[in-house]
Chains A and B, each alone.
Chain A
């Protein structure tokens, strides 16, 4: 089953670069230009992993991650954040408060991102439903949380 990845970034070139990388590797890639659009995509079809930029218009990455964490249907969804800004929060705090399992600083390496996602989802069963029908999260994902 094809693994699904949601990419959120207001920088079109970064979106395209990541989309290119994952598409060639057989992922079903959904792109969103801002946080609200990203949430709408999640509501339509739950991805297996979310990769989001931090600074975006109309719901930034942190707010999107928090929304994902607080929703019962998505609170186990792994979120990776890309950011060009420094962070005052420690990795532990990002995980505890926002459910962000990993932070990659920009300029990031698409290779590194790809390796990270692959290791995250390598043994997990892909998700096949949207928010309304999800009741359980693949067991392999939970070890990252």
Chain B
């Protein structure tokens, strides 16, 4: 506007000068009138220009206000484009058109950024869910699992691991040295991580659980590619990731092998016991054979006695081997059975006769209280006799000298029952539950007598699986035991 005012003023002056030149020396009144007209013209032109500028400015301001009132949805839906442009005469039109386009583009970019953010949030949420799921799954495992990254920081410890290794709840991302409760695990993880070997490394350790009970664990440790640290390395060096060796973390799984160890130990003890049991009758056989060979038995009676011992010990060895073979047949599920109607009382009397010498050796009473009735059973003679021998033999073994073992039989409804009652050491409720398990022997009574832990499992199998009966035991510690066999009577079965 100042420019227009100056131009109008110069134009008025120019016009005055032209009039003055044309008229010559105009009178003062004309001169004043010309100057006043020129000034008025200059003011008018400036005023008009200023007014025009004001109107354009107001229009532009209103336009800007309209633009500012538009929300993001208007920009994104394109309705902002429906706004009418400023008049082409408006001086602000180019600028404001540029601004409008710029705002449109910004709106589009903001929308795109919001889409990306939403997608990223969704991914993060999904990853977090998956991670939580994985954590839940790992915590649901009974085996403790521990993982460390390539820098030796603990990155994973599931719930069983946290409890077993006494780790704090927020053990993750802490130093590996937190595993100080198990130095073998610490060493194995460190070694595995540093060696970068794909093969699994194992070790066995003993650790106490929360209740203080000792458990054996097998630790299996192997490496895994630690992608986070390998990506960091490639960025910092500027090389492509595939040209660098992958950094290796290590993961360890602890498997509870306490039961396996117990079985191994029991098997080893069993083999040792069997070996001992076999060598004992062999020792007698060898001793008496040697005495005979050296001519130490000078009279026939002594020779007969020695041969009798050799014979009985050979039979003893045979019984042991038979027990072992029977046991293997039990496990294989194959038993040769030859059932026929038998008298239970006859079998029991035969048992008593066989074991009377052993009872006499311990100065014990071995008495019978057999039913006067005929008690018929459909039985395999050898196996049922074996079962009766095992029960009476056990009663003699676990009853101190001077005690008593009673063998009873009776009819009970349609069943035939025989019992072996002793005045021996008795069984605790816990031992009663386990006494029919293979190889199980009551610890405190192992010194009382040798055994393999096979006798009662064999009896149970013979009674239940072969003869369809059942076996029961009543016992109190220090009060002796009564083993009861219930068999189907003959009348209850087809011969």
Residue ranges of A at the interface with B (Cβ–Cβ < 8 Å): 10-14, 16-18, 20-21, 24, 55-58, 60, 82, 84-86, 106-111
Q: In the complex, which residue of chain A has the Cβ closest to the Cβ of B401?
A: A33
How far, in whole Å, are A11 and B317 apart by their CA atoms in the complex? Answer: 14
User: Nearest-CB distance from B288 to chain A (Å)?
Assistant: 6
The interface size of chain B toward A, counting residues with CB under 8 Å, comes to 23
The answer to the question of B275 belonging to the interface, with a C-beta cut-off of 8 Å to chain A, is yes
Within 8 A of A (CB), among B243-296: 272, 275-276, 279-280, 282-288, 290-291, 294, 296
9 additional A-B residue pairs with CB within 8 Å, beyond A10-B450, A13-B287:
A13-B309, A14-B284, A17-B287, A20-B291, A55-B276, A84-B275, A84-B280, A109-B290, A111-B294
| B296 x A20 contact (CB < 8 A) | yes
| B286 x A108 contact (CB < 8 A) | yes
Binary interface profile of B, 428-461, with partner A (CB < 8 Å = 1, else 0)?
A: 0000000000000000000111100000000000
Chain B residues positioned under 8 Å from A13 (CB to CB): 284, 287-288, 309, 313
Q: In the complex, which residue of chain A has the Cβ closest to the Cβ of B298?
A: A24
User: Nearest-CB distance from A21 to chain B (Å)?
Assistant: 7
| A84 x B449 contact (CB < 8 A) | no
User: Nearest-CB distance from B53 to chain A (Å)?
Assistant: 113
Q: Contacts A17-B288, A85-B275, A110-B290: A57 and B282 contacting too (C-beta < 8 A)? A: no
Residue from B284, B285, B450 with most neighbouring chain A CB atoms (10 Å): B284
How far, in whole Å, are A85 and B271 apart by their CA atoms in the complex? Answer: 10
| B279 x A106 contact (CB < 8 A) | yes
User: Nearest-CB distance from A25 to chain B (Å)?
Assistant: 10
Q: Which of A12, A21, A56, A82 contacts B291 (CB 8 A)?
A: A21
How far, in whole Å, are A84 and B271 apart by their CA atoms in the complex? Answer: 12
The answer to the question of B493 belonging to the interface, with a C-beta cut-off of 8 Å to chain A, is no
Pick 8 A–B contacts, CB within 8 A, sort by A: A17-B309, A18-B287, A20-B296, A21-B296, A84-B279, A106-B280, A107-B279, A109-B286
Q: Which of A11, A20, A24, A107 contacts B286 (CB 8 A)?
A: A107
Binary interface profile of B, 218-246, with partner A (CB < 8 Å = 1, else 0)?
A: 00000000000000000000000000000
The answer to the question of B195 belonging to the interface, with a C-beta cut-off of 8 Å to chain A, is no
How far, in whole Å, are A11 and B288 apart by their CA atoms in the complex? Answer: 13
Chain B residues positioned under 8 Å from A84 (CB to CB): 275-276, 279-280, 283
Chain B residues positioned under 8 Å from A85 (CB to CB): 272, 275-276
How far, in whole Å, are A57 and B448 apart by their CA atoms in the complex? Answer: 5
Chain A residues positioned under 8 Å from B291 (CB to CB): 17, 20-21, 110
Residue from B279, B283, B288 with most neighbouring chain A CB atoms (10 Å): B283
| B276 x A11 contact (CB < 8 A) | no
How far, in whole Å, are A57 and B447 apart by their CA atoms in the complex? Answer: 4
Chain A residues positioned under 8 Å from B287 (CB to CB): 13-14, 17-18, 107-110
| B282 x A107 contact (CB < 8 A) | yes
User: Nearest-CB distance from A51 to chain B (Å)?
Assistant: 13
How far, in whole Å, are A12 and B357 apart by their CA atoms in the complex? Answer: 12
How far, in whole Å, are A110 and B286 apart by their CA atoms in the complex? Answer: 9
The answer to the question of B213 belonging to the interface, with a C-beta cut-off of 8 Å to chain A, is no
User: Nearest-CB distance from B430 to chain A (Å)?
Assistant: 22
Q: In the complex, which residue of chain A has the Cβ closest to the Cβ of B450?
A: A55
How far, in whole Å, are A108 and B282 apart by their CA atoms in the complex? Answer: 9
Chain A residues positioned under 8 Å from B290 (CB to CB): 109-111
How far, in whole Å, are A97 and B272 apart by their CA atoms in the complex? Answer: 23
Chain A residues positioned under 8 Å from B276 (CB to CB): 55, 84-85
How far, in whole Å, are A11 and B276 apart by their CA atoms in the complex? Answer: 12
User: Nearest-CB distance from A77 to chain B (Å)?
Assistant: 23
How far, in whole Å, are A38 and B284 apart by their CA atoms in the complex? Answer: 20
Chain B residues positioned under 8 Å from A18 (CB to CB): 287
Chain A residues positioned under 8 Å from B313 (CB to CB): 13
How far, in whole Å, are A84 and B275 apart by their CA atoms in the complex? Answer: 7
User: Nearest-CB distance from A35 to chain B (Å)?
Assistant: 9
Chain A residues positioned under 8 Å from B450 (CB to CB): 10, 55
Within 8 A of A (CB), among B89-109: none
| B284 x A17 contact (CB < 8 A) | yes
Q: Which of A11, A12, A17, A58 contacts B447 (CB 8 A)?
A: A58
Chain B residues positioned under 8 Å from A17 (CB to CB): 284, 287-288, 291, 309
User: Nearest-CB distance from B140 to chain A (Å)?
Assistant: 43
How far, in whole Å, are A55 and B280 apart by their CA atoms in the complex? Answer: 11
Q: In the complex, which residue of chain B has the Cβ closest to the Cβ of A105?
A: B279
| A11 x B284 contact (CB < 8 A) | yes
How far, in whole Å, are A13 and B406 apart by their CA atoms in the complex? Answer: 26
Q: Which of A14, A60, A111 contacts B283 (CB 8 A)?
A: A14
Chain A residues positioned under 8 Å from B309 (CB to CB): 13, 16-17
| A60 x B447 contact (CB < 8 A) | yes
Residue from A10, A56, A82, A107 with most neighbouring chain B CB atoms (10 Å): A107
How far, in whole Å, are A55 and B294 apart by their CA atoms in the complex? Answer: 28
How far, in whole Å, are A12 and B448 apart by their CA atoms in the complex? Answer: 15
Chain B residues positioned under 8 Å from A107 (CB to CB): 279, 282-287
How far, in whole Å, are A107 and B276 apart by their CA atoms in the complex? Answer: 10
Q: In the complex, which residue of chain B has the Cβ closest to the Cβ of A112?
A: B290
Chain A residues positioned under 8 Å from B296 (CB to CB): 20-21, 24
Residue from A13, A82, A110 with most neighbouring chain B CB atoms (10 Å): A13
Q: Which of A14, A16, A57, A60 contacts B449 (CB 8 A)?
A: A57
Q: In the complex, which residue of chain B has the Cβ closest to the Cβ of A63?
A: B447
| A12 x B361 contact (CB < 8 A) | yes
Q: In the complex, which residue of chain A has the Cβ closest to the Cβ of B445?
A: A57
